[in-house]
A and B are shown apart, each in its own frame.
Chain A
Amino acid sequence: GDSVTQTEGQVTVSESKSLIINCTYSATSIGYPNLFWYVRYPGEGLQLLLKVITAGQKGSSRGFEATYNKEATSFHLQKASVQESDSAVYYCALSDRGSALGRLHFGAGTQLIVIP
């Protein structure tokens, strides 16, 4: 079945430093999946950060970027300069094109802590 693997546990980065959270996927459904990054800020519900539906394309939002690499089956999340307000839990996900309404498969989540 479809699955997502991302950087485990917690990542601690100093403010203004760069960030990368790794995400790789396995998709057995027909074609190739749509890829997403969701984020949960403290005290808030899970929300979409960015999505990419075409291989080779890059998505970006709030200074974060992720490129859909079909050859490497990767969708790493990067930011050049993090801020304290970026502290949150980040989830990589893919949508299952084999399902009627496109169920999402999530990674385990990566907690980002930005130190001022």
Chain B
Amino acid sequence: GPKVLQIPSHQIIDMGQMVTLNCDPVSNHLYFYWYKQILGQQMEFLVNFYNGKVMEKSKLFKDQFSVERPDGSYFTLKIQPTALEDSAVYFCASSLVGVISNERLFFGHGTKLSVL
């Protein structure tokens, strides 16, 4: 079936540095999402993105976070600068139609970010 690929699977970075998490969504999908899961906690919504724009973001989506999908390539989440509390698994998802239309989300395997 359709797959969302996330690269890399694990990234270790020093606090204060910049990190970019890459997501290769399903090819014909139009809606893109990032979710964050801290160890032992629930997966929580960060942001959704459509037509080149952030449509919604949660309070977890700090000013240090940004997303983009230049020229239909990877959908990226950039954190600059990173903080210790950014350590988590970040899941990318995509869908053909927005979830409000009851369409399913396709998720990647996640990128584990460890901020030291």
Contacts and interface: CB of A to CB of B under 8 A. Distances in A.
B90 interface: no
Interface stretch (A18-26, A41-49, A66-74, A77-85): A41-49
Interface in A98-115: 99-109
Contact of A100 (B33, B41, B93, B100): B100
B99 A46 contact: no
Interface string A3-20: 010000000000000000
Interface in B37-73: 41-45, 48, 50, 55-56, 58
Interface residues of B, number: 29
Counting chain A residues whose Cβ lies within 8 A of the other chain, the interface size class is 20 to 34
B42 A108 contact: yes
B74 interface: no
Query: What 6 A-B pairs come out closest when comparing CB atoms?
Result: A102-B100, A102-B99, A46-B107, A101-B98, A48-B104, A103-B45
Given A45-B108, A102-B100, A103-B56, 19 more contacts: A45-B106, A46-B93, A48-B104, A48-B105, A91-B43, A99-B100, A100-B55, A100-B98, A101-B31, A101-B48, A101-B55, A101-B56, A101-B99, A102-B99, A102-B101, A104-B35, A105-B45, A106-B35, A108-B42
